């Protein structure tokens, strides 16, 4: 059975591989494993802040919220989401949602 630290290391390494495949300039070269997620935190905070600013001025449904998060994620990470297969995109976006939802929960109409 994998330890919790191994799971977090695997998540960090998977995120980094997805960023690399998507052509992102956020690929972490000086760290491995869980510490990769620490390097990504500033970008995730920026995405959360941008989404929160839009949410304050516009009521949006769940679909619009998802498009907004996806668009901001692609912009902030300079990530070509079209290069990713559906599982990679899903896993990466779930990580983003989980990270930004810690900061803010969407008020959906």
State the chain's mean pLDDT as an integer. Answer: 89
The rounded percent of the chain whose pLDDT value lies above 90 is 62
What does the pLDDT look like over 61-72, one tens digit per residue? 889 999 999 999
- pLDDT of 106: 46
Q: What is the DSSP letter of 22?
A: T
Tell me the chain's radius of gyration from C-alpha atoms.
Answer: 14
**How is the chain split into domains, by residue range?**
4-103
- Distance CA(85)–CA(64), nearest Å, equals 22
- pLDDT of 40: 92
- pLDDT of 99: 92
Segment 73-89 mean pLDDT:
96
Closest CA to 70 of 90, 49, 45, 41: 90
Burial of 61 (0-12, 13-18, 19+ CB in 10 A): exposed
Q: What is the DSSP letter of 77?
A: T
């Amino acid at each position: 059975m994998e330890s919790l630290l191994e799971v977090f290391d695997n998540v960090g390494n998977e995120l980094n591989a997805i960023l690399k495949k998507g052509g992102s300039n956020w690929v972490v070269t000086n760290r491995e494993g869980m510490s990769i997620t620490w390097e990504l935190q500033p970008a995730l905070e920026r995405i959360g802040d941008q989404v929160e600013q839009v949410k304050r001025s516009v009521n949006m449904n769940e679909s619009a919220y998802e498009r907004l998060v996806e668009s901001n994620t692609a912009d902030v990470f300079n990530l070509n989401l079209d290069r990713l297969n559906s599982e990679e995109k899903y896993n990466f976006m779930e990580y983003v949602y989980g990270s930004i939802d810690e900061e803010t929960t969407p008020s959906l109409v």
